[in-house]
Each structure stands twice: as structure tokens, then as C-alpha cells.
Amino acid sequence: VTVLIRISEDFTDAPGGRHRADGEWSGEEFREDFLESHMGSPVGEEIVVDLDRTFGYATSFLEEAFGGLARVFGSQAVLSRLRFISTEDPELIERINTYISHSHE
Amino acid sequence: MKRGWAPRRRLSGFRLQAKYRRATELRIKAGDSFSIINNPIETLETFQNLTEAVVKSKRPVYFDVRDSRTVTIDALLYLLALTNAFRSFGFDYAIRGNLPSDPEAKKIFLESGIYRYFESNSAPLKSNSQCVQVFAGFNADPRIAKKLCQFAMARLGVGKVATRGLYDIVMEIILNTVQHAYDKRPDHQKWFAYARYEAESESIRFTILDSGLGIPQTVRRSFVEHFQQLVKLFGIESPNLDSELIKSALAGEFRTKTQQAYRGKGIPRINSYETSGYIKALTIVSNQGYVSPAGSVSYALPYGFLGTLYSWRMTK
């Protein structure tokens, strides 16, 4: 089973900062409202995150959304369940994987 | 058009005391180049004089920029931020001023919208030029970053993908202001952002500043511990401490005040955009530090900057 989350359509085309307290559309909000519910579902469900068509991402947003997810569920679990799509900026996927792998440092 | 300006907040009964005002008014004259990024020492000395007049001597000020032949927006935004800080700290002030006689300098002053904002009691901070965008805010509003990207797309003729890095830069700077710059004064969190398209170089100059604690102040504790260790080990001394702190923050060598290593990635990321050539002429002024990574220029300022100023240029 695959779940597809298209950030620009399902969340916003203008992602915000790290925490909800920073303002709208934060990484914390995306993690809690979109990612964590799917991570809590039965093992084997692949979560595909489409990163394209937004105006961009603050580093803090990416770290909190995906590095933060790894701090909750563990880096290996997140890396094995999440897959990313970014035809506009493929380097973004490498950065996110680094945030997940180094989430506790 | 009136020939002078004055910020909206005045001393109580100021209008009724014009005779007294003229007698006690302190004239502060800006230099030939009224620019923090290009002429930081003289310009910050001017602001130091302004601050002393308001805070210490509590005298009305006439801010004279008539003979300033070049003006950059950072100085005007700082004037705005300073008066905002005076107000937030509860200082009553009275500042009047004039406009530069140089046409180009005057144009920058007028098209910024700051003149109108100062002069009026009700005007919003809004540019009156298609080449300029100016914003002020209290939180990390992604809509501002989006608007600046749309402005860059329109003026530089580039697509959305080309401005994704700009979005990252703007958001990180604003986030730093909201999260760190004001520390125990969260009710006074205010930043100013400005973008101006310059046709002759086909580029956009971006300026964002706040009047908060400053980068050196927010990373000082961990650095001082580290620095004291170095001094002890090697017997060295640095007269350029704030610049070293800014450079270290750019290099990602320090943890933020949260002491969490996964934090503090934003400023190094901004630096990486400069290193890769995505942006040019990045300059950061904060407290007594001046750092321009592209030219490897950094030095200590004799007069402090209240907060942090980021300035950079972006071309197609």
C-alpha cells in the first residue's frame, strides 16, 4: 500500500518555519498532522512525499518535519518507510535523508 | 510634497512647543555615503549620535541627510528599526529630517515608502515603485517569502524553481529573528525586509534587518567558553570577537542557545548559497561585527549595530 502526500496540494505551496509557534505551515504541523498518522499505521505502508511545485523550503522546516519524524520513530524506520519525489530539485532529497540520518546529533 | 519628514510618534505636546523645539533641537548630520554596508563606521557613528540624543540627552533631533550623495536602503531601514526600538523601550522621542538633494539618493528615500511612513500618522509601510518591495512583520510569515520570490521571478524573468533558494534564505533569516533575536522581548519581535530591482546590473538587492540581540549575543555563551579555552591554550587575544562569532555561526561551528545540534543549520545554509554563487555580495552586520564572506572581509566596528542586518544581491 502506498500513500502519496503532495505537499503543494495537500498542505501548502509556501511552507513555513520549524515550530507551530513560528507561524503557519510549520514543519512541526506537517509532521504531526500528515506524517505521524501514516507512520503509526501498519508496517509496510510506503509513504511517498512529493516535494515539487512549492516555492521552496526553509531548512528548519525540512529538519523539523523529517529529522523530527526520525526523532520520534527512529532513523531507520523513517528511511525505510518514506520515499521522496523531487524532479525540480533532486538535491533536496539528499539533504532530507541527511537530516533523517543525523536527526539526533 | 512636504520638504521634511518626522516619525509618527512625537514628544507630548510637541506641536505646541515649536519655539522650544527649535531652541533645543540637536542637528545630526549623515555622511556623504549614508550606508551601513558601504560606509559602516561613519553611518553607525551617526546612529550612535542619534541614540544618545534620544536616550541620554532626550533632546529633539533634526536628522540631516541633505548632503548625502549616496544612500542605501539598509540605513533607512535601520532608522525605522531604531525608532521602533526607542518606542518599544518606552523612550519618547522627536525626530524631524530632510531629504537628500542628490536626485538618485532622494529617489531611494522616496520610493522605499519609508518617507511616507514616517511622515504620515496612518500610512502603511508600502513602496510606491514597481521596482521595490518592502515588508515589516512580527512572525515567520511564509507569505512574505513567497511574495519576494514572486517579485524576483517577475523582475529577473526566472521560473519558480530558480527562486527556491531565495525562499530558504528569507525564511531562515526571518525565523532567526523570531526565534533568537529578541529573546526576552517577544512582544517586540519586528523585522523589516526590502528588495529593490536595479536595472543597470539586472539584479535585485535584498536587505533584511531586525533590532534584536544580534548573532554574537545569541551564540556568545558557547563561543566564549570555547574562546576562553583557546586563549588559555595559546595565549591569543582577538579584538574582533563579534566578527569571529558571526563567521563561526556561518560555518555552523556553534550550537544555538537550545544546545541541540540539529538546530542552527539555517545560517550555514545561507552561507552555502553565497559559496555556490547563487547569491552575491552577502554582508552581515551584527553588534560590533561586520562580515562579508565573499570578499573575506571582516572587522570590528567601533559603534555597535542593534540587531542584525543581512544584505545580498541576486542576479538571473
Digit-coded pLDDT (tens) for B153-198: 999 999 999 999 999 999 999 998 887 655 555 545 678 999 999 9
Of A55, A63, A103, the CB nearest to B146: A55
Q: What is the mean pLDDT of residues B137-148?
A: 91
Contacts of A41 (CB under 8 A, 6+ apart): none
Which pTM does this prediction carry?
0.87
Tens-digit pLDDT string for chain A (105 aa): 789 999 999 999 999 999 998 889 999 999 999 999 888 877 678 999 999 999 999 999 999 999 999 999 999 999 999 999 999 999 999 999 999 999 875
CA distance B82 to A51: 40
Partner B contacted by A11 (CB < 8 A): no
Partner A contacted by B147 (CB < 8 A): no
Joined together, the cell numbers standing for residue B110 give 522616496
Q: What is the mean pLDDT of residues B84-104?
A: 86
Confidence (pLDDT) at A10: 97
Confidence (pLDDT) at B254: 63
Q: How far is CA A4 from CA A30, A48, A73, A86, in A?
A: 14, 5, 19, 13
Using the structure block, give the residue that is written with the C-alpha cell 558571526. Answer: B246
Mean pLDDT of chain B: 82
Cβ-based contacts of B166 with chain A (< 8 Å): 56
Partner B contacted by A99 (CB < 8 A): yes
User: For residue B169, what is the nearest residue in chain A, using CA coordinates?
Assistant: A58
Give the whole-number percent of chain B exceeding pLDDT 70.
Answer: 78
CA distance B11 to B95: 9
Partner A contacted by B250 (CB < 8 A): no
Q: Are B231 and B237 in contact (CB under 8 A)?
A: yes
Q: What is the mean pLDDT of residues B244-255?
A: 81
CA distance B111 to B233: 54
Given a cut of 60, is residue B11 above it in pLDDT?
no
Give me Rg for the CA atoms of chain B: 20
Q: What is the mean pLDDT of residues B210-231?
A: 68
Confidence (pLDDT) at B14: 36
Partner B contacted by A67 (CB < 8 A): yes
Cβ-based contacts of A56 with chain B (< 8 Å): 145, 149, 163-168, 171
Partner B contacted by A30 (CB < 8 A): no
Q: Are B177 and B209 in contact (CB under 8 A)?
A: no
**At B117, is the pLDDT very low, low, confident or very high (cuts 50, 70, 90)?**
confident
- Are A89 and B166 inside 8 Å of each other by CB? no
Of A54, A58, A105, the CB nearest to B172: A58
Given a cut of 70, is residue B202 above it in pLDDT?
yes
Partner A contacted by B253 (CB < 8 A): no
Task: State how far residue A77 is from chain B, nearest Cα, in angstroms.
Answer: 19
Confidence (pLDDT) at B16: 38
Using the structure block, give the residue that is written with the C-alpha cell 526571518. Answer: B174
CA distance A52 to A87: 7
Cβ-based contacts of A23 with chain B (< 8 Å): 139-142, 178
CA distance B136 to B133: 11
Given a cut of 70, is residue B35 above it in pLDDT?
yes
Query: Which residue would you say has higher pLDDT here, B312 or B245?
Result: B312
Partner B contacted by A13 (CB < 8 A): yes
Q: What is the mean pLDDT of residues B93-102?
A: 89
Cβ-based contacts of A22 with chain B (< 8 Å): 139-140, 175, 178-179
Q: Are B283 and B251 in contact (CB under 8 A)?
A: no
Confidence (pLDDT) at B223: 57
Partner A contacted by B261 (CB < 8 A): yes
Partner A contacted by B139 (CB < 8 A): yes
Confidence (pLDDT) at B10: 45
Cβ-based contacts of A53 with chain B (< 8 Å): 160
- Are A18 and B175 inside 8 Å of each other by CB? yes
Q: What is the mean pLDDT of residues B83-94?
A: 82
